[in-house]
Amino acid sequence: MRILYAASEVAPYIKTGGLADVAGSLPKAIAKEGHDVFVVLPLYSRISSTYRDRMKQEAFFFVDLDWRHQYAGIFSIEEDGIKTFFIDNEFYFHRDTIYGQGDDGERFLFFSRAIAQMIKALDLKVDIVHANDWHTGLLPLYIKDYSRGDEAYSRIKTVFTIHNLKYQGVFPPSILQLAGLSNEYFHEDGLKFYDAANFMKAGIVYCDSLTTVSESYAEEIRYEFYGENLQGVIRKNDWKLKGIVNGIDYDVYDPEKDPKLPYHYSKDDLRGKALNKEALQRLFDLPENKNVPVIGMVTRLVATKGLDLVRYILDELLQEEVQVVVLGTGEEEYEDMFRHFQWRYPDRLSAHIYFNEGESHLVYAGSDIFMMPSLAEPCGISQLIAMRYGTLPVVRETGGLKDTVKPYNRYTGEGTGFSFANYNAHELLYSLKEAIGVYDDEDTWKSLVVQAMTEKTDWAVSSEKYIKLYEELLLQR
C-alpha cells in the first residue's frame, strides 16, 4: 500500500506534544512491514538547519485561497525507509510559535489544501491518506471534494485520527470561502458547529475511517464529559470509529542504549537505574539518597494533566519521606505552584520550569514513581516511557492510562503501576501512598519494575491494527 501520513508536528523535526511522537514513529513501523509511507508537515522556520541542509527540493506550485495566490514549495528528506515532505511557505510558517497565531485557521487550511494538491503534483498515487487532529481535519474533506471527477483522488481512502478532542479548530464560517469549499458543506452533518466552521468536525464527518488513540477514549468521547460538545457527532459516526492505542519508538526509548542517559541498564541488571537516580538528584539539587522514593513528572503544566489534584495533596505528600521532581512548562498558575512548593520544601521538591528532551529521559529513568493523574488522557505516552524505564506510573483510570497501566494487585503480585478511578485528590494521594508503601518492600517493588519493563508497548501490535484497517478500507474501493 502507499500511505500518506499528515500531521502538524513530527518528531524529531518539530515537537510540542505526543502527536509528534506518534507521527514520528507509527509511519516507521508501518514502513517496516513493507509499505510505502510518506509523511508530510509544514516547513516551520523553527525546524533546525541540520535538517534543512539535508532537504531536497521536489517541486513547487500555487494554492489559491480566495484572492490570495500562495506559493507552496515541497522539500523532502528520506530516512528510515520513509520520505518526509515539508511544505514551505514563509508567510504562513515563518513564525515564532507553531500554534496560537491569529490566522491559524488560514495557515492550516493552506497546509491541508497544499497536501491535497501535492498528491497530484507529485503523482504520489497514494491509496490511503491518514490525517490527524484539527490541523489536517480539512484534508479528508478536500480528498472527497476533489475526487468528484478527478481520478487522482477518487480511489483514495481517508483515515482521520483524533489525538485530543479538546482542540478543534473553530473559525468563522467565512473561512470556507478562503478554503474554496462551497456552502454545501456547511450544515449540521457537515462541518457546521453552532454558527462556526469546525475543522475537527470536518475530519470526523468526511473521513472513511475514524480512530482515536486508545479504546477507552473512543468510548469516553461518546459522552458529554469527554465529548467537548462533539459527543453527538461522535455517536452519529461511531459506525466507523475505532480505538487503537499508541506505542512508543523502542529505538528512541531504550534504557540499554539511550544516548541521553548517563548510565544504561536492563531489567536483568538494574544497577544503572540506581546510578541514574543519583544523577537525577544531583541535577535537581536534591539530597542524594538512594532509599527515598523519587516521584517524577514530565508534563505540560495544564489543567487536563490533573494538576489541581496535585496542588491539593502536595503539602500532605511532602510530609512523607519522598522527593518530587517536575519538568515542564505551561500555565502560570501551575508553574508558580511548583515554584512555591520548591521554596517551602527545598529538600523534597525540585521543579525545572522548562522543557529539555535530555533531562526528560533522566527523569523517566532516574525516578521510581511517575505521577500522571490526568483529568483526560486520550492515550498518554509518558506512562509508556516510564514503564519502559522501570518507573512505575501512578495514573488515573482514564483513556489510554486505563488501557496501558495494569494496577498492582497485591493478591496476585501482578502489576505495572498504580491507579485510581475518580478525579479526587485523596484517591491520588492514596495511590501514591500505596506506591510508597510497596516501594519499601524491595522484592515486590523489583518484581513490578521487571513486569513494567517487560510490557510490550512498542508499535508492533498497533501498527498491525492500522495496516489491517487500511486494507479493509481498500477492499471497499
The residues that touch ligand GLC, with contacts defined as CB under 6 A, are 17-19, 22, 163-164, 213, 246, 377-381, 400
The order of strands in the sheet holding 128-132 is 56-65, 68-79, 82-88, 36-42, 2-6, 128-132, 157-162, 209-212, 241-243
The nearer residue to ligand GLC, 246 or 419, going by C-beta atoms, is 246
- Smallest separation, CB 399 to ligand GLC (Å): 6
Shortest separation between residue 472's beta carbon and ligand GLC, angstroms: 22
> Which residue of this chain has its Cβ atom nearest to ligand GLC in the complex?
18
CB 22 to ligand GLC: min, Å = 5
- Residue 283 has phi, psi (to 5 degrees) of -60, -35
Report the residue number, 190 or 378, with the smaller CB distance to ligand GLC.
378
Residue nearer to ligand GLC on the CB measure, 120 or 222: 222
Q: Using alpha carbons only, give the angle 168, 130, 236 rounded to the nearest 5 degrees.
A: 55
- Cβ closest to ligand GLC, residue 18 vs residue 407: 18
Closest contact distance (angstroms) between CB of 163 and ligand GLC is: 3
Shortest Cβ distance from residue 2 to ligand GLC (Å)? 23
User: 129 in helix, strand or coil?
Assistant: strand
The rounded distance, in Å, linking the Cα atoms of 210 and 219 is: 13
Helix (H, G, I), strand (E, B) or coil at 131: strand
- Nearest distance from C-beta of residue 342 to ligand GLC, angstroms: 26
Angle between helices 460-475 and 18-32 (to 10 degrees): 70
CB of 452 to ligand GLC, least distance (A): 18
**AA identity, residue 291:** N
How many residues make up the chain in this entry?
477
- 3-state secondary structure (DSSP) of residue 170: strand
Q: 179: closest CA among 263, 121, 233, 117? A: 117
Determine contact, residues 144/181, Cβ cutoff 8 Å. Answer: no
- Cell numbers 544497577 label which residue? 271
Smallest gap from residue 212 Cβ to ligand GLC (A):
9
Is the Cα torsion angle 358, 363, 365, 366 positive or negative in sign?
positive
Give the C-alpha distances (Å, rounded to integers) separating 401 from 213, 214, 286, 372: 11, 9, 29, 9
Q: Which residues of 322-332 are buried (b: 16+ CB within 10 A; e: fewer)?
A: bbbbbbbebee
- Nearer to ligand GLC among residue 132 and residue 416 (C-beta): 132
Which of 124/245 has CB closer to ligand GLC?
245
Taking the complex as a whole, the smallest distance from the CB of residue 162 to ligand GLC amounts, in Å, to 9
Nearer to ligand GLC, 213 or 351 (CB): 213
Nearer to ligand GLC by C-beta: 84 or 374?
Answer: 374
Nearer to ligand GLC, 212 or 416 (CB): 212
Helix (H) or strand (E) holding 177: helix 175-179
